[in-house]
């Protein structure tokens, strides 16, 4: 894994600036660094390398094609690159996937090469003949890539902080992006938190010529629309096309066999590395499946890693330990105190680079640090919920929603008020009593109360269960709400929500969280479930083989049960969470009060202090649980303060 950066001004040697940009993201690639420039065009590319495949100088970047026409900087892994080499022929300098990629591009072109590539990546490609820059990102959005304009210069990089290394770069916060952030606690692509800076969308190629370099547009190019001003965006792979296909007619056993075989193949490819390799293990279905299939293939015990907490409501370490013992892994377990978790908070603005407020970022940072102490590459189980129907919002039966939708909305409002009448902590105590415990019942019922006020269609259910500030984001100047079109390629509400999460929540939240946390520790994380062949297989499988008897991930469970007894796995879903809400009323109260004080909020020219202070007061009183929305405000204010 690596970091890339570059600047294009139209003339002059930009090597010094490009190197300074790469220096700010050296944590992404501490093993090597390089830069290349074309002073006549005014473009410079820079790179910092985390050596995983071919540790020799033959993997050094930026890398030119043998003909000299193309120059490439690349972040990621192409798992099938050795399969592509026989089709390209000739002599090879080394064994890196970057060399395979740049030669394939020279032979087939960028789009055709990416169509054949299996992997995770972000890249910048300069074509010296056409004087065009192409920026591309992997199919599911595992690796990040920003690009934008400042004072007549086009700048681009793996992380936003590299852009701020450009002299004079001071693009202001984009109010529209801030509004989306406050709703989702992350900034969705193609927006970034800054004006005139954007993200390349997953499975997309953005191509810019010299007219586009000078254009400095205020909005990102629309993928698939006709180019304007020398900037075009195209897709080389389409999730819509995958979702729109018919499902296969398979028996349950045939479907399990097919998924099992494909996962074995994908994981075998992703275990290839010239450095030590391991896996995250929570003891849940997704990560346990990955580790089980790794253990089946590995001649040595798999290195597995988990974080433990003192609070049993948030501690999955005992479950991970039991699975690790059964699979015979070399298990690493770190128990952290609340103080150790909270100590990560001051580093979050630097690690995440733009406001990002999924509180599971805290244990993810600690887990990445633990893992990097032993290995350079780790496999993760992310993607299982979105592909195989795992989130709670998918599991409520349609009959339940239809029944509730038939109840007059005023009566549903009464039910919602009744739920909110008890403080979340009281509901948590109720959920923890009796033989069938329900972790974090207060938070779950809070989301249910939000759903009851809507129309109870899939879009309403999804919005109420995944968004904050449903009554309006707290900005001084209103920003019109903008939404992507709701997915309608599948008839079932569950699949519509799954598609929305695959295109939004997964890349903008989950994968962003993992990339920044792992790269801050110079750790490469690979996600086998997001190989596009697994994605395509999952959508070719009927929903009835993913959700059965109100339980999600049925198909993935059957694969896992071939390796791990079900009694080690079956338990209520807890998630990778920490008790931020309680800490905001205790140990974090002074820190939060400083950022949420009337003086601090008034000094922010974009936020409206009144609704924020109202929620803060309700949260402190314990009458409401506003953890997620307040955490979003706090992280934004901490980021803005660090940037000032």
Question: Does 399 fall in a domain?
Answer: no
One domain for residues 65 and 198: yes
Is residue 34 pLDDT above 80, yes or no?
A: yes
Question: Does 481 fall in a domain?
Answer: no
- The string of pLDDT tens digits covering residues 270-310 is 999 888 999 999 999 999 999 999 999 999 999 999 998 87
One domain for residues 166 and 282: no
Question: Does 403 fall in a domain?
Answer: no
Is residue 447 pLDDT above 90, yes or no?
A: no
More reliable by pLDDT, 455 or 462: 462
CA atoms of 242 and 235, how far apart (whole Å)? 13
What integer pLDDT is reported at residue 146 of this predicted model? 98
How many folded domains does the chain comprise? 3
CA atoms of 611 and 621, how far apart (whole Å)? 15
**What is the mean predicted confidence (pLDDT) over 454-482?**
88
More reliable by pLDDT, 579 or 196: 196
What CATH number does residue 95 fall under?
3.60.20.10
- Got the DSSP string for 440-505? THHHHHHHHHHHHTS--SHHHHHHHHH-S-TT---BSS------PPPP-SSSSHHHHHHHHIIIII
Identify the helix (H) or strand (E) that includes residue 156: strand 153-157
Domain boundary at 221, 237, 253, which? 237
One domain for residues 7 and 109: yes
283's tokens:
């003891």
One domain for residues 20 and 128: yes
Confidence of residue 175 (pLDDT cuts 50, 70, 90): very high
| pTM score | 0.93
One domain for residues 170 and 216: yes
Question: Does 484 fall in a domain?
Answer: no
Confidence of residue 570 (pLDDT cuts 50, 70, 90): confident
**What is the mean predicted confidence (pLDDT) over 253-264?**
98
Domain boundary at 237, 263, 279, which? 237
Question: Does 420 fall in a domain?
Answer: no
One domain for residues 642 and 584: yes
Question: Does 401 fall in a domain?
Answer: no
- The string of pLDDT tens digits covering residues 186-233 is 999 999 999 999 999 999 999 999 999 999 898 999 887 766 679 999
Is residue 32 pLDDT above 80, yes or no?
A: yes
**What is the mean predicted confidence (pLDDT) over 400-409?**
75
Q: Which domain holds residue 381?
A: 243-389+492-568
For every residue of 230-259, which 3-state class applies, written as one string?
Answer: CEEEEECCCHHHHHCCCCCCCCHHHHHHHH
One domain for residues 273 and 161: no
Is residue 552 pLDDT above 70, yes or no?
A: yes
Question: Does 81 fall in a domain?
Answer: yes
Q: Using the 8-state DSSP alphabet, how is residue 1 labeled?
A: -
Is residue 337 pLDDT above 90, yes or no?
A: no
What integer pLDDT is reported at residue 419 of this predicted model? 78
Domain boundary at 205, 237, 269, which? 237
The answer, yes or no, to whether the previous bond of 62 is cis (omega within 30 of 0) is yes
- CB–CB of 233/204 below 8 Å? yes
- Between 57-61, 66-70, 138-142, the lowest mean confidence (pLDDT) is in 57-61
**What is the mean predicted confidence (pLDDT) over 538-567?**
96
CA atoms of 641 and 244, how far apart (whole Å)? 45
What integer pLDDT is reported at residue 507 of this predicted model? 98
One domain for residues 364 and 224: no
What integer pLDDT is reported at residue 403 of this predicted model? 75
Question: Does 251 fall in a domain?
Answer: yes
CB crowding 537-571: b at 16 or more within 10 Å, else e? bbbebbbebbbeeeebbbbbbbbbbebbeeebbee
Pairing of strands 132-137, 303-309: unpaired
What CATH number does residue 525 fall under?
3.40.50.620
One domain for residues 175 and 122: yes
Average pLDDT taken over every residue of the chain: 92
One domain for residues 73 and 162: yes
What integer pLDDT is reported at residue 550 of this predicted model? 85
Of 456, 458, 445, nearest in space to 403 by CA = 456
What integer pLDDT is reported at residue 313 of this predicted model? 67
One domain for residues 508 and 612: no
CB crowding 20-38: b at 16 or more within 10 Å, else e? bbbebbebbbebbbbbbbb
One domain for residues 620 and 504: no
If DSSP codes are grouped into helix, strand and coil, which group holds residue 610? Answer: helix
């Amino acid at each position: 894994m690596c970091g890339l950066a570059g600047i294009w001004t139209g003339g002059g040697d930009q090597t010094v600036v490009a190197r300074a940009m790469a220096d700010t993201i050296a944590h992404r690639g501490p093993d090597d660094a390089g830069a290349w420039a074309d002073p006549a065009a005014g473009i410079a590319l820079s790179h910092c390398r985390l050596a995983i495949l071919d540790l020799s100088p033959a993997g050094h970047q930026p890398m030119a094609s043998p003909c000299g026409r193309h120059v490439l900087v690349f972040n990621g892994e192409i798992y099938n690159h050795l399969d592509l080499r026989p089709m390209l022929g000739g002599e090879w300098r080394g064994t890196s996937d970057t060399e395979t990629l740049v030669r394939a591009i020279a032979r087939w072109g960028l789009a055709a090469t990416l169509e054949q590539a299996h992997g995770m990546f972000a890249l910048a490609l300069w074509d010296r003949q056409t004087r065009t820059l192409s920026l591309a990102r992997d199919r599911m959005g595992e690796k990040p890539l920003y690009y934008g304009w400042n004072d007549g210069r086009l700048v681009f990089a793996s992380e936003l902080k590299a852009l701020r290394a450009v002299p004079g770069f001071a693009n202001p916060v984009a109010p529209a992006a801030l509004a989306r952030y406050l709703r989702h606690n992350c900034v969705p692509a193609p927006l970034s938190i800054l004006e005139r800076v954007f993200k390349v969308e997953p499975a997309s190629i953005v191509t810019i010529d010299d007219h586009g370099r000078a254009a400095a547009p205020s909005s990102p190019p629309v993928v698939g629309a006709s180019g304007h001003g020398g900037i075009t965006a195209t897709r080389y792979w389409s999730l819509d096309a995958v979702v729109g296909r018919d499902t296969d007619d398979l028996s349950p056993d045939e479907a399990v066999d097919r998924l099992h075989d494909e996962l074995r193949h994908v994981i075998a490819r992703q275990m290839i590395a010239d450095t030590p390799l391991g896996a995250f293990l929570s003891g849940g279905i997704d990560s346990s499946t990955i580790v089980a299939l790794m253990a089946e293939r590995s001649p040595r015990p798999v290195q597995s890693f988990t974080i433990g907490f003192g609070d049993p409501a948030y501690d999955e370490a005992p479950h991970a330990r039991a699975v690790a013992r059964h699979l015979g892994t070399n298990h690493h377990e770190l128990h952290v105190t609340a103080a150790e978790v909270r100590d990560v908070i001051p580093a979050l603005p630097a690690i995440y680079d733009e406001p990002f407020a999924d509180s599971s970022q805290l244990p993810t940072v600690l887990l990445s640090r633990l893992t990097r102490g032993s290995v350079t590459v780790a496999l993760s189980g992310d993607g299982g919920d979105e592909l195989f129907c795992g989130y709670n919002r998918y599991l409520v039966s349609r009959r339940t929603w239809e029944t509730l939708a038939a109840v007059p909305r005023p009566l549903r409002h009464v039910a919602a008020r009744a739920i909110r009448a008890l403080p979340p902590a009281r509901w948590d105590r109720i959920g923890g009593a009796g033989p069938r415990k329900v972790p974090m019942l207060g938070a779950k019922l809070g989301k249910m109360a939000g759903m009851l006020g809507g129309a109870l269609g899939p879009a309403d259910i999804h919005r109420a269960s995944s968004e904050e500030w449903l009554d309006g984001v707290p900005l001084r100047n209103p920003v019109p709400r903008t939404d992507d079109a709701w997915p309608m390629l599948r008839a079932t509400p569950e699949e519509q929500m799954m598609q929305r999460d695959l295109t939004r929540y997964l890349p903008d939240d989950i994968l962003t969280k993992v990339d920044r946390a792992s790269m801050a520790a110079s750790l490469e994380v690979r996600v086998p479930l997001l190989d596009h062949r697994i994605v395509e297989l999952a959508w070719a499988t009927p929903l009835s083989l993913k959700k059965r008897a109100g339980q999600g991930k049925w198909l993935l469970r059957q694969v896992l049960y071939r390796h791990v007894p079900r009694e080690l796995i079956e338990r209520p879903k807890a998630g990778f969470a920490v008790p931020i809400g309680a800490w905001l009323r205790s140990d974090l109260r002074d820190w939060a009060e400083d950022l949420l004080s009337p003086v601090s909020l008034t000094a922010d020219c974009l936020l409206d202090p009144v609704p924020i202070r109202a929620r803060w007061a309700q949260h402190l009183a314990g009458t409401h649980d506003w953890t997620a929305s307040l955490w979003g405000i706090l992280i934004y204010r901490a980021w803005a303060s660090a940037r000032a």
